[in-house]
Amino acid sequence: MRMLQLIKRICKQVLRDKRTLALLFLAPIFVITLLNYIFPDPDDEVTIAAVNVRDDVIDILEDNDMIVKQEKEIDIKSYLEEGNATGVLEEKDGEWTLTILNDNPMDEGPAIQGSSQAIMETNLNDLSDNIDDMINNMEDMSAGLEEMMENINEMMDQLPPEAAQNLDINTDLDVDTDVDTEIDSEIDMDEDPITVEYIYGDESYTFFEILNPILVSFFVFFFVFLIAGMSMLKERSSGTLEKLLSTPIKKSEIVFGYLFGYGIFAILQTAIIILYSVYILDMEIAGSITNMFIINILLSFVALGLGLLLSTFVSSEFQMIQFIPLVIIPQIFFSGMLNVDTMETWLQWIAPIMPLYYAGNTMIDVVLKGFTLGEIMAPLSILVLFIVVFVTLNIVGMRRYRKV
């Protein structure tokens, strides 16, 4: 009853505060949209300028969907600065040089990769041509040898026998005329030098596709944390928390009232972010959208609990902001963008205390790998554990304002 009134009050306050509403609902959508368009599409073509490059290399470059501009005598620096191409490929005395500005790894990565691949392929082609030549030469040579042997044998026959014995030429000299010419000179150079097999998904994910599920969780966490923390701080600094505790309300009623009051908005925000990512930005999901909801709603309650808790340690909005680089930012690194297993040992110990570590990685499991609810039970239970711990600490923390 009291809790319901508290929830009602919180809803009223949030709905009246247009700025908070915008922060909750528009800000994440804005940022996610921005990121969606900022990352280059891997299908975009890369332009390479070729200076003194053999035609067969150019053919391979073009086969690899690169636009090749053939140039002679250009000033490479200004040519690149003007944006005529992403890179300039030159050949001089058998040495290959690819020049790039080195100011945009996103575009330049594919240029470097494509060029080196093309050169590798031509080199392989050249090599197999050489091998063919060599084999031909060897066949010629062994034919010559055979001829010589026959000549010698003929000569021996014509010599008187004593002379032949004195010469003692081993006419059984076993020249292997069967030089193995079976070397497969037909290595199929049209195939990619390497075939990539994808266990999850069927083509290379763009960075955004991996980032997006993590970002969904990150925004849920970040904005809910901020808003819960800020409003609890306001309640404390305006004295209304103390006033509230002078009424017979239970401390747990306050904490749960806050949790559910802001929880409503957290759930709405989660829903909007997920639906927007999936239906408007066409985020592909291998698993079920329900699982995405479950992860993020649990996470939002963790954020609520943590925000409320940390707000008790600060005395101003500015101090609340100071928690962001301490509490929020480090969690990004552990949220699935980077592989925790390959980190330093002490970092691997830190990861499990971070709620976003569980949420982010589980989001990747669901969105990219299509994990089912059963498969993500373990991280979900840990998120529930976080909620229980934070709620308990919050209720205990209220003792500061009332001893019972």
Partner 1 sequence: MIKLSNISKSFGKQTILQDVSVDISTNQITGLIGPSGTGKTTLIKCLMGMEKYDNGTIEIDNVTVPNRKLLNKIGYMAQSDSLYHDLTGLENIQFFAHMYGNKISKQTVQSILDLVQLEQDKKKLVQHYSGGMKRRLSLAIALINQPKYLILDEPTVGIDPVLKLSIWDQLHELKKDSTLLITTHIMDEAMKCDQLLLMKNKGIAASGTPQEILENFGVSDIDQVFLKLEEQEYENAAVN
Residue type, position 263, single letter: G
Q: Which residue among 5, 130, 171, 348 contacts partner 1 (CB under 8 A)?
A: 5
Angle at which helices 251-275 and 2-16 cross, to 10° = 40
76, 99 Cβ separation under 8 angstroms: yes
Closest CA to 171 of 143, 204, 140, 148: 148
Smallest distance, partner 1 to C-beta of residue 40, A: 44
What mask, x for binding partner 1 by CB under 8 A, covers residues 225 to 254? Answer: -------------xxx-xxxxxxxxx----
Smallest distance, partner 1 to C-beta of residue 252, A: 11
Task: Return the number of the residue (1 or 34) whose C-beta is nearest partner 1.
Answer: 1
Total residues interacting with partner 1, rule: CB under 8 A: 24
What mask, x for binding partner 1 by CB under 8 A, covers residues 307 to 346? Answer: ----------------------------------------
Task: Return the number of the residue (6 or 376) whose C-beta is nearest partner 1.
Answer: 6
Closest CA to 40 of 105, 88, 118: 105
Q: Is 49 helix (H, G, I), strand (E, B) or coil?
A: strand
Torsion region of 282: left, alpha or beta (phi above 0 gives left; psi -120 to 50 gives alpha): left
Task: Return the number of the residue (369 or 400) whose C-beta is nearest partner 1.
Answer: 400
What mask, x for binding partner 1 by CB under 8 A, covers residues 383 to 402? Answer: ------------------xx
Smallest distance, partner 1 to C-beta of residue 19, A: 11
Task: Return the number of the residue (24 or 32) whose C-beta is nearest partner 1.
Answer: 24
Smallest distance, partner 1 to C-beta of residue 223, A: 19
Task: List own/partner pairs for 329-334 with CB under 8 A and 24 or more apart.
Answer: 330/354, 331/218, 331/221, 331/355, 331/356, 331/357, 332/214, 332/218, 332/356, 334/360
Beta pairing class for 46-51 and 66-71: parallel
Smallest distance, partner 1 to C-beta of residue 401, A: 6
Asked if 2 touches partner 1 (CB under 8 A), the answer is yes
Smallest distance, partner 1 to C-beta of residue 316, A: 17
224, 269 Cβ separation under 8 angstroms: yes
Angle at which helices 18-38 and 207-237 cross, to 10° = 160
Task: Return the number of the residue (69 or 402) whose C-beta is nearest partner 1.
Answer: 402
| Span near partner 1 by CB under 8 A; candidates 5-13, 154-162, 215-223, 287-295 | 5-13
Asked if 13 touches partner 1 (CB under 8 A), the answer is yes
Smallest distance, partner 1 to C-beta of residue 265, A: 15
- CA 203, CA 226: separation in Å to the nearest integer? 37
Task: Return the number of the residue (39 or 401) whose C-beta is nearest partner 1.
Answer: 401
Closest CA to 340 of 329, 332, 348: 348
Using CB under 8 A, list all residues that contact partner 1. Answer: 1-2, 5, 9, 12-13, 16-17, 238-240, 242-250, 401-404
